[in-house]
Amino acid sequence: MGGLCGCDRPRGPAIPDRVTLLADVAEIVARSHDLDETLQNVVELVAKRLDTDVCSVYLVEEDLTRLTLSATIGLYREAVGRVQLPVGEGLVGLAAERRAPVVVEQAERHPRYKYFPETGEERFSSLMAVPLIVRGVTIGVLVVQTREPRHFDRREVDMFQTCAQLIAPVVINARLLSLVGQSEEEAARSSAQLALQGIRVPSAERVRAQRSVELRGIATSRGIAIGRVHRLENPLDLADLDYQPSGDPEQEERDLLRALHEARRALDDTREEVGDQFGPDFSAVFHTHIQILEDKGFVAKLREELRQTGNAYEALRNVLQAYRRTFARVEDPYFRDRMADVEDVGRRVMEQLLGERHHTKPLEEGSIVVTDNILPSHFARLDLDKIAAIVSEHGGPTSHGAILARTLEIPAVTGIERLLEIVQPGETAIVDGGEGNVFLAPDERLIAEYQRARQRYAIAIGHLDALRDLAAETRDGRCIALTANCGLVSDLRLVEQHGADGIGLFRTEMLAFAHRGFPEEDEQEQLYERVARFLAPRPVTFRTLDLGGDKEMPSLGATPEENPQLGCRSIRLSLLNLDAFRAQLRAVLRASSSGNVRLLLPMISSIGELRRARELVEEAKQELGSSGTPFDAAIPVGVMIEVPAAALTAEALARECDFFSIGTNDLTQYTLAVDRGNERVAHLYDPLHPAVLSLIDRSARAAARAGIPVSVCGEMASNPLAVPILVGLGITELSSTPSAVPIVKEIVHGLDYGEAEEDARRALAAGTAEEVHAIGAARLRHAGLLEHPDIGPWLSQIVQRESLS
Task: Return the number of the residue (395 or 663) whose C-beta is nearest Mg ion.
Answer: 663
β-sheet bridge partners, residue 437:
216, 432
From 243, 348, 257, 342, select the one nearest 299 (Cα to Cα).
257
Query: Measured from the CB of residue 486, what is the shortest distance to ligand PEP in angstroms?
Result: 11
Q: Which does 714 bind (CB under 5 to 8 A by kind): ligand PEP, Mg ion, none?
A: ligand PEP
Task: Return the number of the residue (94 or 712) whose C-beta is nearest ligand PEP.
Answer: 712
Give the C-alpha separation, 181 to 297, whole Å.
Answer: 9
Query: Measured from the CB of residue 795, what is the shortest distance to Mg ion in angstroms?
Result: 27
Q: Residue 487 corresponds to which amino acid?
A: G
Contact 262, 351 (CB under 8 A): no
Query: Measured from the CB of residue 666, what is the shortest distance to Mg ion in angstroms?
Result: 4
Binding characters for Mg ion, 427-446, by CB under 5 A (x = yes): --------------------
Task: Return the number of the residue (2 or 714) whose C-beta is nearest ligand PEP.
Answer: 714
Query: By CB under 5 A, is residue 487 in contact with Mg ion?
Result: no
Rg of the chain's alpha carbons, rounded to an integer?
A: 29
- Secondary structure class of 430 (helix, strand, coil): strand
Give the C-alpha separation, 402 to 513, whole Å.
Answer: 20
Determine phi and psi for 53, rounding to 5 degrees.
-80, -30
Determine phi and psi for 517, rounding to 5 degrees.
125, 145
Determine phi and psi for 91, rounding to 5 degrees.
-70, -30
Q: Which does 197 bind (CB under 5 to 8 A by kind): ligand PEP, Mg ion, none?
A: none
Is the peptide bond between 86 and the residue preceding it cis, with omega within 30 degrees of 0?
no
Contact 766, 516 (CB under 8 A): no
Q: Which does 377 bind (CB under 5 to 8 A by kind): ligand PEP, Mg ion, none?
A: none
Please state, in angstroms and as integers, the Cα–Cα distance from residue 315 to each residue in 256, 303, 321, 622, following that order.
9, 8, 10, 67
Which residue among 55, 163, 486, 713 is the active-site one? 713
CB atoms within 10 A of CB 16: 16
Residue 400 burial by Cβ neighbours in a 10 Å radius (0-12, 13-18, 19+): buried
Task: Return the number of the residue (191 or 668) whose C-beta is nearest Mg ion.
Answer: 668
From 744, 769, 609, select the one nearest 691 (Cα to Cα).
769
Strand order from edge to edge, sheet including 367-371: 218-221, 412-414, 387-392, 367-371, 224-231, 428-432, 437-440
Query: Regarding beta strands 54-60 and 66-73, do their DSSP bridges make them parallel or antiparallel, or are they unpaired?
Result: antiparallel
Give the C-alpha separation, 124 to 110, whole Å.
Answer: 13
Task: Return the number of the residue (414 or 664) whose C-beta is nearest ligand PEP.
Answer: 664
CB atoms within 10 A of CB 85: 20
Query: Measured from the CB of residue 609, what is the shortest distance to ligand PEP in angstroms?
Result: 16
Question: By Cβ distance, which residue is nearest to Mg ion?
Answer: 666
CA 360 remoteness from chain centre: 33
Interface residues for Mg ion in 382-421 (CB under 5 A)?
Answer: none
| Whether 400 is catalytic | yes
DSSP state of 729: T
Determine phi and psi for 72, rounding to 5 degrees.
-155, 150
β-sheet bridge partners, residue 712:
662, 734
Q: Which conformational region is residue 235 in: left (phi greater than 0), alpha (psi within -120 to 50 degrees), or beta?
A: alpha
Q: Which does 664 bind (CB under 5 to 8 A by kind): ligand PEP, Mg ion, none?
A: ligand PEP
Exposed e or buried b for every residue in 542-557, given b needs 16+ CB within 10 A?
A: bbbbbbbbebebeebe
Contact 598, 539 (CB under 8 A): yes
Query: Measured from the CB of residue 663, what is the shortest distance to ligand PEP in angstroms?
Result: 3
Task: Return the number of the residue (119 or 669) whose C-beta is nearest ligand PEP.
Answer: 669
Task: Return the number of the residue (71 or 604) whose C-beta is nearest Mg ion.
Answer: 604
Q: Which does 156 bind (CB under 5 to 8 A by kind): ligand PEP, Mg ion, none?
A: none
Query: By CB under 5 A, is residue 715 in contact with Mg ion?
Result: no
State the alpha helices, DSSP H only, in 106-202. 154-177, 184-196
Binding characters for Mg ion, 577-616, by CB under 5 A (x = yes): ----------------------------------------
Query: Measured from the CB of residue 666, what is the shortest distance to ligand PEP in angstroms?
Result: 3
- Secondary structure class of 412 (helix, strand, coil): strand
From 237, 241, 218, select the one nearest 419 (Cα to Cα).
218
Interface residues for Mg ion in 651-680 (CB under 5 A)?
Answer: 663, 666
Task: Return the number of the residue (394 or 515) whose C-beta is nearest ligand PEP.
Answer: 515
State the alpha helices, DSSP H only, in 354-489. 376-381, 400-407, 419-422, 444-465
From 245, 222, 283, 243, select the one nearest 23 (Cα to Cα).
283
Tell me the site size for Mg ion, rule CB under 5 A.
3
Query: By CB under 5 A, is residue 759 in contact with Mg ion?
Result: no
Q: For the packed helices 338-353 and 312-328, what is the interaxial angle rounded to 10 degrees? A: 180
In the complex, the residues that contact ligand PEP under the rule CB under 6 A are: 505, 507, 546, 642, 663-666, 713-714
Give the C-alpha separation, 711 to 734, whole Å.
Answer: 6
Task: Return the number of the residue (437 or 574) whose C-beta is nearest ligand PEP.
Answer: 574
Interface residues for Mg ion in 627-646 (CB under 5 A)?
Answer: 642
Query: Measured from the CB of residue 578, what is the shortest distance to Mg ion in angstroms?
Result: 22
Which residue among 400, 463, 515, 773 is the active-site one? 400
Q: Which does 742 bind (CB under 5 to 8 A by kind): ligand PEP, Mg ion, none?
A: none
| Whether 713 is catalytic | yes
Active-site residue set: 400, 713
Using CB under 5 A, list all residues that contact Mg ion: 642, 663, 666
